[in-house]
Amino acid sequence: MGSVSGSSARPIQAMVVEDEAIIRTFISFALRSLGCRVVSEVAYGEEAVEIARSQPLDIVFMDIRLKGSMNGVETARNVVQVSDARIVFMSAYDRSKIGIDDDFPQMAGYLVKPVHSADIQQIVEAVRSGSGG
């Protein structure tokens, strides 16, 4: 998708993939308050992959545990095959317990729940500036 830096650039296009509705709503609200356009909010990995295939995305906030047959890591691997979106993983567990390496393709960050709006802002600003995480 390229850089989305600069104040005149289009809003960052985001998707939130989270099985807990209240967390999905919170993250979407935080993203919108930062000027992002939330393209979609979904609970299933399969749906996230279809949206990534059909919508231009800059960033995806991805829970590790999802509804459906795909977990967040598997979903993210499929998303990066069809999109240039940066991936932000979210989990209640420390990253070392999940097995996500620093070299995961297009990773912009890893947030341990509970997620705070300041964490979301830091990642959005990094993606907006082109440094990404």
- The reported pLDDT for the residue numbered 118 is 97
Indicate whether 32 belongs to any domain: yes
- The reported pLDDT for the residue numbered 3 is 44
CATH number at residue 33: 3.40.50.2300
Indicate whether 1 belongs to any domain: no
Indicate whether 72 belongs to any domain: yes
Indicate whether 78 belongs to any domain: yes
Provide the whole-model pTM: 0.90
In which domain, by residue range, is 86 found? 13-129
- The reported pLDDT for the residue numbered 8 is 53
List the one residue out of 118, 117, 67, 73 whose CA is nearest residue 91.
Answer: 73
Q: Domain count of the chain?
A: 1
Report how far residue 117's alpha carbon sits from residue 72's, in angstroms, rounded to the nearest whole number: 21
Q: What is the mean pLDDT of each run of 10 residues along the chain (133 residues)?
A: 53 98 98 98 98 98 96 96 97 81 88 96 94 65
Indicate whether 8 belongs to any domain: no
Indicate whether 5 belongs to any domain: no
Q: Where are the alpha helices (DSSP H) in 1-133?
A: 21-33, 45-54, 72-82, 95-98, 117-129
Contact 106, 87 (CB under 8 A): yes
Indicate whether 50 belongs to any domain: yes
How is residue 131 annotated by DSSP? -
